[in-house]
Structure 1
Amino acid sequence: MPVPDVPGADAGLRGLPRRVDLTTRQRLIVDSSAVADIALRTGIASLLAATMLPSLAGGLRRSQSRAEQEYLRFYAELASAKDPALSFPAPTSLPRVSSRPANPLAEWVAKGNVHNIRFNSSFEAVNPALREQCRGFARNNVVHAQHWRHEDGPRPTLCVIHGFMGSPYLFNGLFFSLPWFYRSGYDVLLYVLPFHGNRAEKGSPFSGHGFFANGFAGSAEAMGQAVHDFRSMIDYLEFTGVDRIALTGMSLGGYTAALIASVDDRVQAVIPNVPVVTPDRTVDEWFPANKMVALRNFLSGTDAELSTAATQYSSPLNYAPLVPKERRLIITGLGDRLAPPEQAELLWEHWDRCAFHWFPGNHILHVSQPDYLRRMTRFMHDFMFD
């Protein structure tokens, strides 16, 4: 996209720059992109509010309200242990992967060998009360990814996790300039989150609908499955000979990447991009979804403290990172109002003030993106190709 070339920079010792520290051009870009982001946020929040309507009606039923309270207590207790091995059990068997050539457009974009891969998920809901429900999601329980491989591979592999509703391979390949990384020597793997793309259940009105359509417990299990299935993907990559994996993701994908970096020590580098790390705090600003959440909690008698404690189950802030500090890089946009930069700053503090880069754009409009792509390349090169 033709956007202004207004560069960002690495954060300082105090974190992100204050408004007074920005140039006039940077302030103009930040302010204008923030206004555009609020409009986008309202549209997405309206979709989320619509997905919550069934659970809102359920909140009027006493039996379902009691069940929801039990779910919250289950995840709050699990989160209090701060044990990733307990919260996110590792897969116990290798996936049986099927692979077929991607369409000619994908190969033309990559200028190389591209295959679509799939396998059956071995995920079991961490909450026993939800296992039967989760097993019933037929399409969601087939894992999908696209794999760009060099003929002389395997090579160090850059894995990419898309954001909410943003699953198309072509969009992510172009947005993240993946052909450039591929030409730089990386193999590339684009991973599809639960309930997105080909994993969306029949009748889903949009990609990602199921991620938030089944109440808090359903969303918690979707995050658990996102981590589990990606760990199966690592098993597959290792089986094919890959020994170095870098992981990046945008928005919900950045959240997932940060969480995986606290669960699996086989990731050599992690680069969350415009990540959300406390969804409960973020949704408070997402009108009209925030009003729907407040009404649902009121009808079901949800205790605010219990709800906050339960959300820690899938938050990367609840677990110590397993990726070494020098291999963590966070990227955020100062004009982002879907995943506000304060969210990335919370992760930066939790991650011992690791490398932190900002750009003066919003959630979708990544102003001066080549700047941070070069930053990523320099950051990864030495230990990915040593």
Structure 2
Amino acid sequence: MSDLLPRIHPDDYCNEDLPTLSQPWWQTLPSSFHSMPDHFLADNDTSWRISSTAAVDTVARTGLALMAGVAALPATLNAARLNDERALTDFYRPFLAESDPNTFFTPPTVSAKIKHTPVSSYHFQPEDGDAHTLHFTSPFVPKNPDLRERYLDHTRNGTAWAQHWRHHDGPRPTLVMIHGFVADPYWLNTRWLALPWFYKQGFDVLLYTLPFHGRRKSRFAPFSGAEFFSQGMALLNETFAHAIHDLRLFMQMLREQGSPAIGATGISLGGYTTGLLAALEKDLAFAIPNVPLVSVIDLMKSWFPINQQVKLLNRIYDTDTAGLREITALHSPLTWPCQIPQSGRMIIGGAGDRFAPPKHSHLLRQHWNNCDVHWFPGNHLLHLDQGLYLKAMRDFMRQAFAAKGVS
């Protein structure tokens, strides 16, 4: 790890066109938010790194948007289902008016029997601990009775999965990691986010698999994660509720095993989920979203060619951008107050990110009362100077755990 200072100062994001976030954010955020440029104060070398990695991100993003758009076509062309979709989403409006998000994201009331099996040989094998694959049959039931049968028909999605690395002399404070959209393989996240390094710094690690990803995807889904966003806005609400529900059961297991404190990080879609978790779990020591998004609709509007489908959504739901945001606001981290103390909030943002552009991280930072932020001069996939933010994360995590009375 390098002792150099970051190339970009926390306050070097300087887009004066972005307004101060106010509630309800889905109405007050300009409809042009998705197209607003991202500006950083930076020297020539850093500016070159930002612009060049941004160009690479834009090309890669188009490929992923094309995959996601094609995956959504069957639902988009299902006229009978589209006729029901507006009524299905109306079910969730009363929950959005509640002061407590846990009214919808109900904590689990039934415990799970979690099974453990040793990980395969090609996964990380700690020398001073063990690594297991965990799974259980999820007791989750969708809130919307009109969606229960359709949602639960995805039988493979009904099994929750995670990987757990635990020190022999534990239990230790635990880092929970949530992967990004389509990026669920444990081996990928192990290497991409240097998770063995965090383990060697003294933390136990749990890698969580989101619904419809990995072994949770349907047998005939075209790719991992394809069903996450492609089945309508109503089912998307239930998908996030399911994600939080099963993650809470794994966290309950960690507490029962004696983990003295738990913190969470996640990348991209996992960063979005981490931000939501921070609005629900008061006992988290920290939340560190990494290159997070904060508005699904605004992200779609910035991704070609899937931005063309937003116009269809306007017609299906008979509403404008603000209305579409409201339909998806139930699971946005911008909607709810963060429950974690200020000392436990940190954001990692890529200055050249064009999958989840910096403006998303900037809005979340505003919502979290100008919390700590670490900007790196790379994109969504290429995290330049990653060693600097990994070291910053480690020090931040230790301080947050110490605030919980855990050394």
TM-score by length of 2: 0.88
Report the equivalent of 1:8.
7
Q: Is the 8 A contact 2:352 2:378 kept in 1?
A: yes
The secondary structure found in structure 2 opposite 1:105 is coil
Alignment of 1:205-354 (within 5 A): 205-298=222-315, 300=316, 302-304=318-320, 305-354=322-371
Report the equivalent of 1:32.
52
Q: Report the Cα distance in structure 2 between the residues aligned to 1:14 and 1:364, rounded to whole angstroms.
A: 20
Q: Is the 8 A contact 2:8 2:377 kept in 1?
A: no
Report the equivalent of 1:22.
42
Say whether 1:192 aligns with 2:209.
yes
Deviations 1:209-262 (A, max 9, x none): 110121111222111111111111111111111120110000000000110010
Report the equivalent of 1:374.
391
Structure 1 residue 106, shift from structure 2 partner: 1.6
The secondary structure found in structure 2 opposite 1:258 is helix
Q: Report the Cα distance in structure 1 between the residues aligned to 2:194 and 2:217, rounded to whole angstroms.
A: 26
Structure 1 residue 19, shift from structure 2 partner: 4.5
Gap change, CA 1:15 and 1:229, over 3 Å in 2 = farther
Gap change, CA 1:241 and 1:42, over 3 Å in 2 = same
Q: Report the Cα distance in structure 2 between the residues aligned to 1:161 and 1:252, rounded to whole angstroms.
A: 8
Deviations 1:319-344 (A, max 9, x none): 11111111100010010011000001
Structure 1 residue 7, shift from structure 2 partner: 3.9
Runs (4 or more) in structure 1 with deviation over 6 Å come to 13-18
The secondary structure found in structure 2 opposite 1:129 is coil
Alignment of 1:352-363 (within 5 A): 352-363=369-380
Alignment of 1:144-155 (within 5 A): 144-155=161-172
Structure 1 residue 21, shift from structure 2 partner: 2.1
Q: Is the 8 A contact 1:6 1:368 kept in 2?
A: no
Q: Report the Cα distance in structure 2 between the residues aligned to 1:99 and 1:34, rounded to whole angstroms.
A: 41
Kindly indicate which of the two structures has a greater share of residues assigned to helix: 1
The secondary structure found in structure 2 opposite 1:281 is helix
Q: Is the 8 A contact 2:314 2:324 kept in 1?
A: no
Q: CA RMSD in A?
A: 2.0
Q: Is the 8 A contact 1:335 1:360 kept in 2?
A: yes
Say whether 1:43 aligns with 2:43.
no
Report how many aligned residue pairs link the two structures: 378
The secondary structure found in structure 2 opposite 1:115 is strand
> Which of 56, 59, 63 in structure 1 is aligned with 2:76?
56
Q: Is the 8 A contact 2:176 2:208 kept in 1?
A: yes
Q: Report the Cα distance in structure 2 between the residues aligned to 1:110 and 1:33, rounded to whole angstroms.
A: 37
The secondary structure found in structure 2 opposite 1:271 is strand
Q: Greater relative contact order (Cα 8 A, min sep 6): structure 1 or 2?
A: 1
Structure 1 residue 314, shift from structure 2 partner: 0.6
Q: Report the Cα distance in structure 2 between the residues aligned to 1:16 and 1:174, rounded to whole angstroms.
A: 33
Q: Please, which runs of 5 or more residues in structure 2 have no aligned partner? A: 17-37
Between the aligned residues of both structures, percent identity stands at 38
Deviations 1:14-49 (A, max 9, x none): 778984620111100000001001011100110111
Structure 1 residue 285, shift from structure 2 partner: 1.1
Q: Report the Cα distance in structure 1 between the residues aligned to 2:317 and 2:251, rounded to whole angstroms.
A: 41
Q: Report the Cα distance in structure 1 between the residues aligned to 2:5 and 2:188, rounded to whole angstroms.
A: 23
The secondary structure found in structure 2 opposite 1:185 is coil
Report the equivalent of 2:88.
71
Q: Is the 8 A contact 2:268 2:292 kept in 1?
A: yes
Letter in 1 for 2:356: A
TM-score by length of 1: 0.93
Gap change, CA 1:270 and 1:262, over 3 Å in 2 = same
Deviations 1:285-330 (A, max 9, x none): 11111112312432x3522243221111111111111111111000
The secondary structure found in structure 2 opposite 1:89 is coil
Structure 1 residue 12, shift from structure 2 partner: 2.4
Q: Report the Cα distance in structure 1 between the residues aligned to 2:297 and 2:319, rounded to whole angstroms.
A: 13
Deviations 1:327-379 (A, max 9, x none): 10001001001100000111101111111110111001000000000100111
Q: Report the Cα distance in structure 2 between the residues aligned to 1:280 and 1:67, rounded to whole angstroms.
A: 20
Structure 1 residue 158, shift from structure 2 partner: 0.6
Q: Report the Cα distance in structure 2 between the residues aligned to 1:131 and 1:318, rounded to whole angstroms.
A: 25
Q: Please, which runs of 5 or more residues in structure 1 have no aligned partner? A: none
Letter in 2 for 1:42: T
